[in-house]
Structure 1
Amino acid sequence: MKVAIFRYQGAQYTGVVQGDQVHAVAASFDELLAAAAPDPLGLTVPLAEVQLLPPVASSCRGVLCVGINYVEHQRESADAFEKTVPTDPIVFFKTPAALAGAYDPLPLDPGISTEFDWEVELGVVIGKAGRGIPRESAGDHVFGYTIVNDITARDAQKRHSQWHLGKNVEGCTPIGPWVVTVDELGYPPVLDLSLTVNGVRKQEANTRDMVFDIADQISIISRYVTLLPGDVLATGTPSGVGFTRRPPEFLRAGDVVETTIEEIGALRNTIAVPAGAALVGQAGAR
């Protein structure tokens, strides 16, 4: 089942996506997480006529993100971050305010950063609460999977001792387009993921290449934090990010970023400059 949250004619719905249509259901996303049946409301709409919103529960506290979780990404970024492959996960947090829809324009204000970068990641949606979850039962806590583009303001990330500000520019982290439930994709999923900028391939990998797999992440994070239904884990990005390229490449107004994970779908976001923002010259991503 593909579960989406969408806006149609001014109203917000939860729905089930089938082909190029979405069928509104009576249950909310939160209720579906609690195993409510997706009973139809009687409203079926072409996907082309709706706005897809971030597919997160109203109870979602944010996104728990794992950094430097692919070996090749560690190697390419060693001069800036970790000199060796991490022995424990690097975990940071994105607030719900950072999230954007699957096809929303991204308001990357050059007054905030001239070094906005891309990061394709598999998102894991928690469906069952737990603390101190054993690795062998981690899959029991997974509701489904989605796509995250962990847009990062690299200059802010470097300037501040913590990563939080560079990872939390408001409305700049697209997620979606929907959540594919675990019964469809299995556990753990083995999926190809990729990202293009203006049609040029920048990232390509497979989730099997993670340093800390989904079970590791759920088990380790839940030692410290009770995971709740609706929480999202962003499981790390592979190599190919912009700041490690020579010369570095960053996103600029008009760029189109497509973030794809097989069996889930794709995000497609155009970089926009907020009204009133002053354009600043940037290294092109083309």
Structure 2
Amino acid sequence: MKVAVVNSRISLIIDNHVVDVERASDGALSSDPETLWAQWGALLAFAESGVSAAGHPELDADALQRPTPLPVQGFGIGLNYLDHAEESGLDLPAAPMVFPKFSSCIVGPDAVLRIASESVDWEAELVVVIGVDCFDVSVEDAWSVVAALTVGQDFSDRVIQFEGGANPQMGLGKSGPGFGPIGPWLVSIDEFDTSALKLDISFTQNGVTKQSSNVEHLIFDVPTLVSFLSKRVDLKAGDVIYTGTAAGIGWGRTPKEHLSPGDVLETTIEGIGTLRTIVAAR
């Protein structure tokens, strides 16, 4: 099931057509995005009932919005790909390195990222969306509390991030306005082989590939991350986990690279879709 918010209404994306769930269900489901998690199970059942795209409008990508209500919590995971740890010159973490992605930074597809410096970097990431309130979840049960996967970017202002010297400001450096886009939609977890998650992930800047990897190379996989977090904090339905980035970030290159106004950025994950972001001057 692909679930999107189109013109502020919950919709299913079927064969590139937009099925407004309230209209298609004769009012049994609500189109209000704030009701997404309360009716997630009903949405799954509706999608599995054989609803057709026939007679529904084709998707206008410009109408897509952030595919979830604003999350209560956003979590980022640092150094979670071996090659990224190597390019950063840092030791492999013994446990997940967690930092906040403050929810005010989380936006949708085709958002404009406004930057004021030459220190903003990219990080293509798989984003996990929690489907139920939960605490103390085992690794074995972790997938049962995940509703969906989506595409994300963990944009990072490296000057702000490292202005603390030996004590980096990870949350502040990675939570500027528009620094956490997700989308273009949610893909329900039943669409994936969670026994061995293998999804290509790539990022392009103005059509030039900068990152290319596969989520199978995560150091701490999705169940480990979900369980680790849930044993320390209450997870809420709709919370998002940015699972880390692979090698190829701008500041891992020689010379260092960065985002610039006018850049067109595309982050793509196999089986999910492409998240587009436009960079402009602030």
Same fold (TM over 0.5): yes
Asked if structure 1 preserves the Cα contact closer than 8 Å seen for 2:108 and 2:182, the reply is yes
Asked if structure 2 preserves the Cα contact closer than 8 Å seen for 1:123 and 1:232, the reply is yes
Shift in Å at residue 44 of structure 1? 3.6
Equivalent in the alignment of 2:26: none
Q: Distance in 2 between matches of 1:180 and 1:118?
A: 23
Structure 1 residues 74 and 19, CA, compared in 2 at 3 Å: closer, same or farther? same
Q: Distance in 2 between matches of 1:49 and 1:140?
A: 31
Shift in Å at residue 201 of structure 1? 0.8
Q: Which residue, 112, 116, 137 being the options, matches 1:105?
A: 112
What is the RMSD computed on CA atoms of the aligned residues? 1.9
Give the number of equivalent residue pairs: 261
Alignment of 1:170-249 (within 5 A): 170-188=177-195, 189-249=197-257
Equivalent in the alignment of 2:11: 15
User: Mind listing any 5+ residue stretches in structure 2 that lack a counterpart?
Assistant: 23-29
User: Mind listing any 5+ residue stretches in structure 1 that lack a counterpart?
Assistant: 275-286
Alignment of 1:62-211 (within 5 A): 62-78=73-89, 83-108=90-115, 110=116, 113-160=117-164, 161=167, 162-188=169-195, 189-211=197-219
Shift in Å at residue 34 of structure 1? 4.8
Deviations 1:38-64 (A, max 9, x none): 488x99433226521111235x21321
Identity of aligned residues (%): 36
Q: Which residue, 236, 247, 255 being the options, matches 2:263?
A: 255
Asked if structure 2 preserves the Cα contact closer than 8 Å seen for 1:69 and 1:211, the reply is yes
Alignment of 1:37-76 (within 5 A): 37-38=45-46, 44-48=56-60, 50-58=62-70, 60-76=71-87
TM-score between the two structures when normalised by the length of structure 2: 0.87
Equivalent in the alignment of 2:3: 3
Q: Distance in 1 between matches of 2:102 and 2:19?
A: 29
Asked if structure 2 preserves the Cα contact closer than 8 Å seen for 1:124 and 1:145, the reply is yes
SS in 2 for 1:122: strand
Shift in Å at residue 104 of structure 1? 1.7
SS in 1 for 2:198: coil
Asked if structure 2 preserves the Cα contact closer than 8 Å seen for 1:107 and 1:271, the reply is yes
* Between structures 1 and 2, the one with greater strand share: 1
TM-score between the two structures when normalised by the length of structure 1: 0.86
Asked if structure 1 preserves the Cα contact closer than 8 Å seen for 2:102 and 2:171, the reply is no
